[in-house]
Amino acid sequence: MAVYALGDRTPDIHPTAYVHPDAVVIGNVTLGAHASVWPTAVLRADYGRIVVGEETNIQDGTIIHCTAIDDTILGARCVVGHNTHIEGATIGDGALIGSGSLVLNGSTIGEGAQVAAGALIPPRFELPARRMAMGIPAKIREGFELPEGHFDANAKMYAANADYYRTALRRID
């Protein structure tokens, strides 16, 4: 795995977290217990900080960054889909950030909420708990609320998959 300190900014990776060998973690990044970071994901905390909660998965091709003004904080049991970009946002516990979406600075995604695939969450957007935002720019889907813990099974599946990869992945070229 490619894990780098940047000056005095050093990643803090829990012993049970999994970082795929083709992922990159740089600077002031904290990965909680059973968090996972998958191939070609990049977490770069060169100014602010990035915190990834326990059992949160950062899927393939995702970019997570922060700024000197806005940290990026992801709660526990979050599901972050493939090719997502999160920049200086706060993501509540149990939220799902859909594949190919963009979540920008100062935005807050509530606990158990969902950002639909391909959505653009503009700066300072607030998505309440267990609601869904979709579109470009994103709008809150009216009359729709997700059940509590809706994405927990997906988070557990990725945590188990990380345990499997930790012991079974081997390069053969």
Segment 70-101, tens digit of pLDDT: 999 999 999 999 999 999 999 999 999 999 99
| Long-range CB pairs of 8-16, under 8 A, 24+ apart, other chains included | 9/45, 9/46, 14/54
For β-strands 139-140 and 132-134, DSSP reports them as antiparallel
List Cβ neighbours of 8 (8 Å cut-off, separation of 6 or more). none
CA distance 155 to 160: 9
Distance CA 57, CA 60 (A): 10
Q: What integer pLDDT is reported at residue 80 of this predicted model? A: 98
Q: Considering the chain, what is the average pLDDT of its residues?
A: 96
Cβ proximity of 96 and 115 under 8 Å: yes
pLDDT band at residue 55 using 50, 70 and 90 as cut-offs: very high
pLDDT at 1 over 90: no
Cα 100 from Cα 94, distance rounded (Å): 18
What number is the average pLDDT over the span 53-67?
Answer: 97
| Token pair listed for 20 | 């795929």
Q: Which domains does the chain have, with CATH numbers?
A: 2-168 (2.160.10.10)
